[in-house]
Amino acid sequence: MGGSLAGLSTANWLCATGWEVDVLERACEPLVDRGAGIVLHPATSRFLTAQEGLPLDDFSVAVDHLRYLGLDGSVVTQHESRLRFAAYGALYQSLRRSLERRGGRYVHGARVTEVRNAEETVHVVLADGTRTSSELLVGADGVHSTVRRLVLPDVEPELGGYVAWRGVLDEDELPDHALRPLERAITYTILDHAHILTYPIQGADGRMRRNWVWYRNLSAPGQLAELLCDRDGVRHGLSVASGAVRPELVAGLAAAADRELPPPLATLVGRTATPFVQAMVDVTPPHLVVGRVCLLGDAGFVARPHAAAGTAKAAEEAWLLARALSDPAVELDEALRAWEREALHLGSALVTRSRRAGERAQREGSWKVGEPLPFGLRSTGDSEF
């Protein structure tokens, strides 16, 4: 259940090990590039490189440096970097094409409303009344997971007290004086109990874009509710998508960028017409397996983005699940228990490291200019290629 990157990664790995897989996605149309870039990780790219034989350059962009800018826009310090970055759409399309070649079925408009475990079967009811059964249901339906709510109703996201504003801008919309300090680098600026970063991604059309993320603390009660009310007056739970943020909030963000950011980053944020906003949360479920249902990706543990490993965690969990289920001599329930032990350790450790990085930057102000990044899935630094 869930046809984004976590669901597609799981489906592809399971198909590759001989499982017959249906992907049920609640959206009625193909998922599009949501205006977000992804820090690539070897776990994220493992299927596309090892199983599909795709070169990394086909779906990601490399940088040469980690660069810190001062408030005046000058380069304060920089170090060599071997990080790579991908557009959401590039990964989604590559994984979806792979699933089609492997015979997996992808169904749009499939919204689950009921999940019921039987002894060796899980039964699912969809909103249109369709009923289906399988040996295993993988809940890979994101931070707002319906599957998680149905099988672990007491698990709720824990708010972190700040938000991430995000956006993407074509590089050709940036003047040279703004683009030059950012080229071939992932660039950070450390602010007063806040920070912003930007890195390059390549769209499906081949155009180079700048992805940026600006973490800002919530300063007053009720501010989050205001930010999560969209331009049509609809209140959202944890995020408002690109194009749906109220115009006055977009204008306010651009004004704040002019006041608070180095000139290249102020230009980048100010020229982004459709930024979006996400509340920072932690989700720490006590279990990832309930009967024949398992929770994977953001349907399970949700870590703040500071370790840049949320997509990598989902891909790693998918690979571990397929590996656990590939031995015909091991009973399915035993294999699920073995997978859960690994996934619980992986998820809880990532949440702890990501939370600590966020608290240092947003609460303590102890993240120093020039520090190595906290990026990594199992340990800091393992995101580099």
For residue 347, the domain's CATH number is 3.50.50.60
Binned at pLDDT 50, 70 and 90, residue 204 comes out as confident
Round to whole Å and give the CA distance between 18 and 308: 31
HSE at residue 88, side-chain half, CA atoms within 13 A, is: 17
User: Residue 384: inside a domain, yes or no?
Assistant: no
Round to whole Å and give the CA distance between 356 and 376: 13
Percent of the chain at pLDDT exceeding 90: 95
Q: Which two tokens stand for residue 32?
A: 């599009």
User: Residue 177: inside a domain, yes or no?
Assistant: yes
User: Residue 378: inside a domain, yes or no?
Assistant: no
Could you tell me if 275 and 317 lie in one domain?
Answer: no
N-terminal to C-terminal alpha carbon distance within the chain: 31
Binned at pLDDT 50, 70 and 90, residue 175 comes out as very high
Could you tell me if 88 and 28 lie in one domain?
Answer: yes
Domains: count for the chain? 2
User: What local confidence, expressed as pLDDT, does residue 30 receive?
Assistant: 86
User: What local confidence, expressed as pLDDT, does residue 148 receive?
Assistant: 98
Could you tell me if 182 and 129 lie in one domain?
Answer: no
User: Residue 376: inside a domain, yes or no?
Assistant: no
User: Residue 265: inside a domain, yes or no?
Assistant: yes
Could you tell me if 292 and 314 lie in one domain?
Answer: yes
Could you tell me if 171 and 134 lie in one domain?
Answer: no
pLDDT score of 237 more than 80: yes
User: What local confidence, expressed as pLDDT, does residue 152 receive?
Assistant: 98
Q: What is the pLDDT of residues 263-300, one digit of tens each?
A: 999 999 999 999 999 999 999 999 999 999 999 999 99
Could you tell me if 115 and 210 lie in one domain?
Answer: no
Round to whole Å and give the CA distance between 35 and 87: 8
Q: What is the pLDDT of residues 1-10, one digit of tens each?
A: 999 999 999 9
Average pLDDT, rounded, for the chain: 96
User: Residue 73: inside a domain, yes or no?
Assistant: no
**In contact, 104 and 11? CB cutoff 8 Å:** yes
User: What local confidence, expressed as pLDDT, does residue 121 receive?
Assistant: 96
Could you tell me if 122 and 214 lie in one domain?
Answer: no
pLDDT score of 32 more than 80: no
Could you tell me if 152 and 300 lie in one domain?
Answer: yes
pLDDT, mean of residues 74-81: 97
User: What local confidence, expressed as pLDDT, does residue 356 receive?
Assistant: 98
Binned at pLDDT 50, 70 and 90, residue 33 comes out as low
Could you tell me if 22 and 153 lie in one domain?
Answer: yes
Could you tell me if 189 and 271 lie in one domain?
Answer: yes
pLDDT score of 239 more than 90: yes
pLDDT score of 35 more than 70: no
User: Residue 385: inside a domain, yes or no?
Assistant: no
User: Residue 249: inside a domain, yes or no?
Assistant: yes
What is the span of the domain harbouring residue 253?
158-281
Could you tell me if 135 and 9 lie in one domain?
Answer: yes
Residue 171: which CATH number? 3.30.9.60
pLDDT score of 257 more than 90: yes
Could you tell me if 152 and 296 lie in one domain?
Answer: yes
